Structure 1
Amino acid sequence: MGKSIVIVGAGVIGLDVALLLAERGYGSHITVIAEHLPGDTSINYTSPWAGANFSAISGNDANALRWDKLGYGHMMKLAEEHGVEACISKTPSFEYWDEMPSRTKIDSMSEYLKDFKILAKSDIPEGCQFGVSFTTITVNAPRYIQYLHRLLKEKYGVTFIREKLTSIESAFSHPSTKVVFNCTGNGARDLPGVQDSKCYPTRGQILLTRAPHIAKNVMRHGKDYETYIIPRPQSNGNIILGGFMQKGVGTGDTFSSESESILKRTTTLLPEILTGGAMEVLAAFSGLRPSREGGARVERTSIPLDGSGSGILVHNYGASGTGFQAGLGMANEAVGTVEDVLSSLPQAKSRL
């Protein structure tokens, strides 16, 4: 029974699909297959390196706006009900743009972001054209995905298997498998059976910094850069400083020149980082956002299987830097494409 639904990939995108299905009673039908699982660190496993937060970094296309709205509602509820356990927190946020964002983006944000306010010109940094404040969600990324992993296994009976698949077709190796969700992120570019040439990494570098006196999220969106300060919940006062958006760069190395740039930009944006208490840089990390030309791919397809017709394959990847905020919205859409398949599966109560 546990092979009816297979999810390939255990980053936040795959975990969100598993969570949505499990909450609907399908946990015992789900097997997650992944080379890396929560608790691992690898440059090929993106989710643990994320900032992470809900921000206006996403695009202004209809998909991004819809996924953001769904994700925000879910994360706000999770923060209210399980914030400490899940290592996520409601946090005041201030975001600024060097160039005016689209009216579509502004109108969408104003509809659902809690405490949303457009800032006066006198309240935004020099050189910026626009700014807003609202209540955001900040996330301790590595601990949050470990929380989801634990929840899915212990409460919902989801099975996890550590394996690097040789092809997406091999996810259908069990005869009872009815649907496979492809949540392979950067792996979608080279995985046989997918090999999406539109996929590419977007490298970022961040600094893990101890500054317990900082309790707000601050971001500046530039034309070719992102600068951000993100408090990390349940981390003894750590904050994340960033960053870079290097399209097509795939190295996991970190560079002192980039660390210096991050420190200069973040302390200029928020000088109080250097006041009100000691600030200590603990480590530099880099990660590779799983990006895709044209935006994320959420699509039901079929795949020919040797000797057994075809299988139902749902692609769900390419979220770039928005996986934590848009993941539940993407999962909702991905799962919605296979309602006919799910209706044939018996639902079970979650484990207590």
Structure 2
Amino acid sequence: MPVVIGAGVAGVTTALLLSKKLGYRMLVAAKHMPGDYDIEYASPWAGANYMPVSVSGTELAKWDKNTWGPLADLAANHPEAGVHFQKCEIHSRTKDLGSATADWFAELLTQFRQLPKEALGPGIDSATAFTSVCINTAICHPWFVSQCLANGVIFKRVIFEHILDAAGGGLHPNGNVDLIVNCTGLMASKIGGVQDTTVVPARGQIVIVRNEADRMLDVSGTDDGDGEACYVMTRAAGGGTILGGSYQKGSWESQPDPNLAIRIVKRAVKMCPALTNGKGIEHLDIIRHGVGLRPVREGGTRIEKEKIDGVWSSYGCAQAAVDLIEQAFESRAKL
């Protein structure tokens, strides 16, 4: 039976798809579970939204495309999942090379259009508008767990020193672990037997406020440094509005930087005056500051199978992992 290591969005989505498609009594084993807030655990800190930047024709673009349908279905038919449709604008500056949205985006999302020049703010060279989804991870992540539980998936808190510890006796109720699905995210850089040194953190710092924005907004870059970003998104079901942010590659710092926080709120209010009805940052009602470490891998997401003697993007990546697992079991059945 398969064991999924990791209970972030990748782990629970993979477990859910496996339990639905293959009927396995899955086990998800992880150090952190939905509801936890820890610097090692990226999923709870995510905004989150659907805004791919992958290049058409690549494997990543395929995974991104395959993710939109399930997310749109959740927004349309499952309000309890904490996913909702939201108008979105991406403002681009010519000097921010390589920051444009995916070239296939217009074919997928509704109401996609270019904004007229007269609608652009100072320093913005072009902008696109469309309808996407915003995900309240505080609701959506536990909802995925509930769907897993309804399919018989078992969850256990376990800390593994080595990837093969997941195959040890007594972990799975059936006692026979013949496949391990590694969804450890950032911890893939540290766990024994994997230690993928190409996986590094990209530190994200956010400010969560009670003020609401009338749309999701994102700017292609800032003048405050390459590791800083500017975006605004209001979560569904009273989840507050996320003001971001940063993309500080290689940084493991877990504590919010107060100076960065000030820059974040200043950029957000300038980009979206509706947050404070045209007033200053002192009119923001702050809930909390947060820091999360995105798992980033040099060369892109790794989804592959490996035989050991003695792999996110959400739905699209999880489906690719499920396909590999099916192939693995089919190969074994033919032996």
| Fold in common (TM above 0.5) | yes
Uncovered stretches (5+) of structure 1, i.e. residues with no partner: 307-315, 317-322, 346-352
Task: Say if 2:177 is the partner of 1:166.
Answer: no
Aligned counterpart, 1:120: 116
Deviation per residue, 1:324-346 (Å, 9 max, x gap):
xx21110111111122345599x
Aligned counterpart, 1:253: 255
Aligned counterpart, 1:350: none
CA 1:106–1:145: 2 relative to 1, 3 Å: closer
Structure 1 CA distance, aligned partners of 2:14 and 2:111?
A: 29
My pick for the range that moved more, 180-189 or 224-233, is: 224-233
Structure 2 CA distance, aligned partners of 1:78 and 1:204?
A: 26
Aligned counterpart, 2:214: 215
After TM superposition, give the deviation of residue 137 of structure 1 in Å. 0.7
CA 1:42–1:133: 2 relative to 1, 3 Å: same
Superposed counterparts of 1:121-140, under 5 Å: 121-140=117-136
Structure 1 CA distance, aligned partners of 2:176 and 2:327?
A: 16
Structure 2 CA distance, aligned partners of 1:115 and 1:101?
A: 25
After TM superposition, give the deviation of residue 292 of structure 1 in Å. 0.9
The 8 Å contact of residues 92 and 100 in structure 2, kept in 1 or not, is answered as no
Structure 2 CA distance, aligned partners of 1:123 and 1:64?
A: 32
Structure 1 CA distance, aligned partners of 2:120 and 2:61?
A: 24
- RMSD over aligned CA atoms reads 2.3
Aligned counterpart, 1:97: 92
Structure 2 CA distance, aligned partners of 1:210 and 1:297?
A: 37
Task: Write the letter of the residue equivalent to 2:7.
Answer: A
Deviation per residue, 1:21-75 (Å, 9 max, x gap):
122252x42100000011111111110011111124x443713322211111110
After TM superposition, give the deviation of residue 111 of structure 1 in Å. 1.3
The 8 Å contact of residues 6 and 33 in structure 1, kept in 2 or not, is answered as yes
My pick for the range that moved more, 99-108 or 178-187, is: 99-108
Task: Say if 2:29 is the partner of 1:24.
Answer: no
Superposed counterparts of 1:1-352, under 5 Å: 4-26=1-23, 28-56=24-52, 58-60=53-55, 62-83=58-79, 85-99=80-94, 106-153=102-149, 155-174=150-169, 176-212=176-212, 214-222=213-221, 224=226, 225-235=228-238, 238-275=240-277, 279-304=284-309, 306=310, 316=311, 326-342=313-329
After TM superposition, give the deviation of residue 107 of structure 1 in Å. 3.1
The 8 Å contact of residues 178 and 341 in structure 1, kept in 2 or not, is answered as no
CA 1:168–1:256: 2 relative to 1, 3 Å: same
CA 1:35–1:113: 2 relative to 1, 3 Å: same
The 8 Å contact of residues 139 and 233 in structure 1, kept in 2 or not, is answered as yes
Structure 2 CA distance, aligned partners of 1:196 and 1:344?
A: 26
CA 1:50–1:335: 2 relative to 1, 3 Å: same
The 8 Å contact of residues 100 and 220 in structure 2, kept in 1 or not, is answered as no
The 8 Å contact of residues 204 and 292 in structure 2, kept in 1 or not, is answered as yes
CA 1:246–1:41: 2 relative to 1, 3 Å: same
The 8 Å contact of residues 6 and 182 in structure 2, kept in 1 or not, is answered as yes
The 8 Å contact of residues 60 and 104 in structure 1, kept in 2 or not, is answered as no
CA 1:104–1:206: 2 relative to 1, 3 Å: closer
The 8 Å contact of residues 60 and 102 in structure 1, kept in 2 or not, is answered as no
Secondary structure at the counterpart of residue 243 of structure 1: strand
Task: Write the letter of the residue equivalent to 1:198.
Answer: T
Name the TM-score, length of structure 2 as normaliser. 0.89
CA 1:92–1:104: 2 relative to 1, 3 Å: closer
Alignment size in residue pairs: 318
Structure 1 CA distance, aligned partners of 2:302 and 2:85?
A: 29
The 8 Å contact of residues 8 and 33 in structure 2, kept in 1 or not, is answered as yes
Deviation per residue, 1:79-124 (Å, 9 max, x gap):
11112x1111111101122237779954310111122112223323
Structure 2 CA distance, aligned partners of 1:104 and 1:210?
A: 29
Structure 2 CA distance, aligned partners of 1:105 and 1:66?
A: 15
Uncovered stretches (5+) of structure 2, i.e. residues with no partner: 170-174
Deviation per residue, 1:227-279 (Å, 9 max, x gap):
1101011126x101000000000011001101100011111111111108963
Secondary structure at the counterpart of residue 32 of structure 1: strand
Aligned counterpart, 2:172: none
Secondary structure at the counterpart of residue 207 of structure 2: strand
Structure 2 CA distance, aligned partners of 1:13 and 1:77?
A: 18
Name the TM-score, length of structure 1 as normaliser. 0.84
Structure 2 CA distance, aligned partners of 1:102 and 1:201?
A: 20
CA 1:217–1:121: 2 relative to 1, 3 Å: same
Structure 2 CA distance, aligned partners of 1:114 and 1:20?
A: 27
**Identity rate, percent:** 31
